[in-house]
Amino acid sequence: MSLENLARRYGTPLYVYSGGHMLSRLGMFEIAFAAVPHLVCYAVKANSTLGILQLFARRGAGFDVVSGGELERVLAVDRRAVGRTVFSGIGKTAAEMDLALRAGILQFNVESEGELELLAERAAKLRKRARIALRVNPDVFAETHPYISTGMREHKFGIDIRRARAVYRRAGKHLDPSGVSVHIGSQIRSAEPFGAAAERVANLVVELRRDGHAIRYVDAGGGLGIEYDADKPFDAQEQVRRYASALVPVVRKLGGVTLLLEPGRFLVAQAGALLTRVLYVKKNGTKNFVIVDAAMNDLIRPALYQAHHQIVPVGPGRGKRTIVADVVGPVCETGDFFARDRKLPVVAPGELLAILDTGAYGMVLASNYNSRPRAAEVLVDGRGAHVIRRRETIADLLAAERRKMPRRAPR
């Protein structure tokens, strides 16, 4: 499909995704983990657009949700997929628990003793039995951005693995201790931390079984990273193979467990591009700026994480001439940038750029800052291009707001 044609047809900024790429990545997991019972639960927080959830649901994938809203999205796509859904997250409310209990999810990943108590109360009230896995904190360091590292004791996530047995003993008759869960962080590109965490979890499973708990699931979480710099080598299939090599032997030794995997970024990030038009090229002193029509409200990762995204011209280019420039958006913030001091081919107003690897944590983190409507999303597959989210309008933004306030009587 021609990205230029899609941009002309649907406007910019525009998110474009490859369905074939996403399913190819899912297939890598199915092949690499074929030796053990497993279920790939796509991490909905990476990209929660219904068209993408439907793509995975049709292939039999499960889902990992972290809010009632994400669970509602799974329900909207395929109610049968709820039985393949795990509910993670540290701040589940009573209403969210009730929704998940009534829907019949596969498992709650419980992150605190207070949550365990509330879930027991809600399950008793609804006369349900909730399958649970404590999300244990294995105190394993994973080299990644500090905002997305989650496996150390000082992080807000999980329960200290040393206290886990005592907490499991507190599970009442309305709770079924069915598994153990762990998630040490995101964008991890080494297999060793995953293996170290799995070994600690496996030791806990042995102890829990001795205590009489029928542990049937080991949830290894997600976090497998990608390479955002196109100049660096990255073999996705080899990355998954190494990941499986770290986990499969541990699970095999346990026997009688299904391995739950929660990839998100790895499945969708490199399947997406954010298309944006150049508005202006300007110079302030010695500094060059390429101003585009996308902004930090469309893709906040560079501002939030100082994340690197490759930016490439979509057209044939303007020869070999290059420029060193900041690529910035129209939002009234100095933090509204996609790249700083980036070497780029010379571009002119009206030309189309693609910001790569934006299929994850792009649209899902979008906002309406500066009253900017959110972009449209297009999914490309073997049957063509499909709009899976229409472009927002100003009318959409104003619809939920009260336009006229009642007049106060004069004092």
Report d(CA 362, CA 150) in Å as an integer: 21
Q: In this structure, are 296 and 227 located in the same domain?
A: no
Report d(CA 308, CA 101) in Å as an integer: 40
Q: Beta strands 376-381 and 14-18: pairing type?
A: parallel
Domain boundary among 250, 266, 282: 266
Q: Which of 77, 18, 74 is nearest to 386 (CA)?
A: 18
What is the DSSP code string of 111-159? -SHHHHHHHHHHHHHHT--EEEEEEEE------S-GGGB--STTSSSSE
Report d(CA 126, CA 362) in Å as an integer: 37
CB 81 within 8 Å of CB 70:
no
For residue 299, what are the contacts with CB-CB under 8 A and spacing of at least 6? 274, 309, 338, 355, 358, 362, 365, 366
Q: Rounded to an integer, what is the distance from CA 315 to the centroid of its chain?
A: 30
pLDDT for residue 25: 98
pLDDT for residue 145: 41
Number of folded domains that form the chain: 2
Q: Which of 269, 303, 271, 297 is nearest to 375 (CA)?
A: 297
Report d(CA 136, CA 200) in Å as an integer: 10
Domain membership of residue 43 (yes or no) is: yes
> H-helix or E-strand containing 279?
strand 272-284
pLDDT for residue 144: 46
List residues with catalytic annotation: 332
Q: In this structure, are 353 and 368 located in the same domain?
A: yes
Q: CATH number for the domain including 362?
A: 2.40.37.10
Report d(CA 362, CA 265) in Å as an integer: 10
Q: In this structure, are 212 and 296 located in the same domain?
A: no
Q: CATH number for the domain including 46?
A: 3.20.20.10
pLDDT for residue 319: 65
Q: In this structure, are 175 and 305 located in the same domain?
A: no
CB 282 within 8 Å of CB 327:
no
Q: In this structure, are 145 and 283 located in the same domain?
A: no
Q: In this structure, are 213 and 280 located in the same domain?
A: no
Report d(CA 28, CA 237) in Å as an integer: 6
Report d(CA 185, CA 143) in Å as an integer: 9
* Mean pLDDT by groups of 10 residues along the chain of 411 residues: 96 98 98 98 98 98 98 98 97 97 98 96 98 90 47 62 93 94 89 92 96 96 91 92 96 96 97 98 96 98 95 81 96 96 95 98 98 98 93 96 80 69
- Residue 370 main-chain phi, psi, to 5 deg: 65, 25
pLDDT for residue 150: 44
**Residue holding tokens 């053990």?**
36
**pTM for the full predicted model:** 0.93
- Residue 84 main-chain phi, psi, to 5 deg: -115, 25
**Residue holding tokens 């997305």?**
148
Domain boundary among 212, 239, 266: 266
Report d(CA 378, CA 255) in Å as an integer: 43
Q: What is the span of the domain harbouring residue 333?
A: 270-391
What separation in angstroms does the CA of 238 have from each of 25, 67, 190, 233, 248? 12, 32, 11, 11, 15
**Residue holding tokens 């302030």?**
284
Domain membership of residue 294 (yes or no) is: yes
What separation in angstroms does the CA of 317 have from each of 230, 279, 338? 18, 16, 20
